[in-house]
Chains A and B, each alone.
Chain A
Amino acid sequence: MSFWEKLSKMDNRIIYTALLVIMIWALIWPMGLPIQIGTSAKAAYETFDSFESGDILYVSFDYDSAGATDIQSSIEACMRLVLKNGGRVVSGALWPIGAQQANYAFKKMQEEYPHLVEGVDFLNLGYKPGGQMYIEKAMDSLIEACANVDNEGRNLSQFPIMKDLVTLKDAKVVICGNHGSPGASEWVPMYATAYAIPNNKPFVVAASAVNATINAPFIQSGQITVYLNGIRAGAEMELLTEKKGTAVSGMDAQSLSHILVFVLMILGNVSYFMQKRESRKQ
Chain B
Amino acid sequence: MPIFEGQLITMIAQLILAATIFALLRRSRSGERLPKIRRLAGLDAIDEAIGRATEMGRPTIFGNGSGGLNSAQTIASFSVLEYAARSCARYDTQLIAVSYVASVYPVMEAIVRTSYLELGKGDSYDPVNTVRFIASGWGASASALQGTMRRERVAACLFMGSYYAETTMITEVGANLGAIQVAGTANTAQLPFMISSCDYTLIGEEFYAAGAYLSKDDVQKVNLVALDYAKAITVIVIIIGALLATFGDASHLKNFLNY
Contacts and interface: CB of A to CB of B under 8 A. Distances in A.
A and B touch in the complex (CB under 8 A): yes
Interface of A: 12, 64-67, 96-97, 179-181, 208, 210-214
B105 interface: no
A72 to B, nearest CB: 15
B176 A12 contact: yes
A214 B187 contact: yes
Given A66-B139, A213-B189, A214-B188, A181 B176 contact: no
Contacts of A12: 176
Given A211-B189, A213-B188, A214-B188, A97 B137 contact: yes
B165 interface: yes
B164 interface: yes
Given A181-B164, A210-B189, A214-B188, A64 B176 contact: no
A181 to B, nearest CB: 7
Contacts of B139: 64-66
Contacts of A210: 165, 189
Given A64-B137, A66-B139, A214 B165 contact: no
Interface of B: 66-67, 137-139, 162, 164-165, 176, 187-189, 192
Contacts, number: 31
A208 B188 contact: no
Contact of B164 (A96, A97, A180, A212): A180
Contacts of B192: 213
A214 to B, nearest CB: 4
Given A64-B139, A180-B138, A214-B187, A208 B165 contact: yes
A145 B138 CA distance: 26
Quick one: which of A64, A180, A181, A214 has the most chain B CB within 10 A? A180
Contacts of A65: 139
Given A96-B137, A212-B189, 10 more contacts: A64-B139, A66-B139, A180-B164, A181-B162, A208-B165, A210-B165, A211-B189, A213-B189, A214-B187, A214-B189
- Chain A binding surface SS class: helix
Contacts of A96: 137
B188 A180 contact: no
Nearest to A180: B164
A108 B176 CA distance: 42
A181 B165 CA distance: 11
A179 B165 CA distance: 8
A210 B67 CA distance: 18
Contacts of B165: 66-67, 179-180, 208, 210
A101 B189 CA distance: 24
Contacts of A214: 187-189
5 contacts: A67-B165, A180-B66, A180-B138, A212-B189, A214-B189
A179 B188 CA distance: 14
A210 B193 CA distance: 11
B192 to A, nearest CB: 8
Contacts of B164: 179-181
A66 B138 CA distance: 10
A238 B158 CA distance: 42
Contacts of A208: 165
Contacts of B138: 66, 180
Contacts of B66: 180
Contacts of B189: 210-214
A179 B164 CA distance: 9
A66 B176 CA distance: 24
Nearest to B175: A12
Nearest to A130: B70
Nearest to B164: A180
Nearest to B187: A214
A212 B188 CA distance: 10
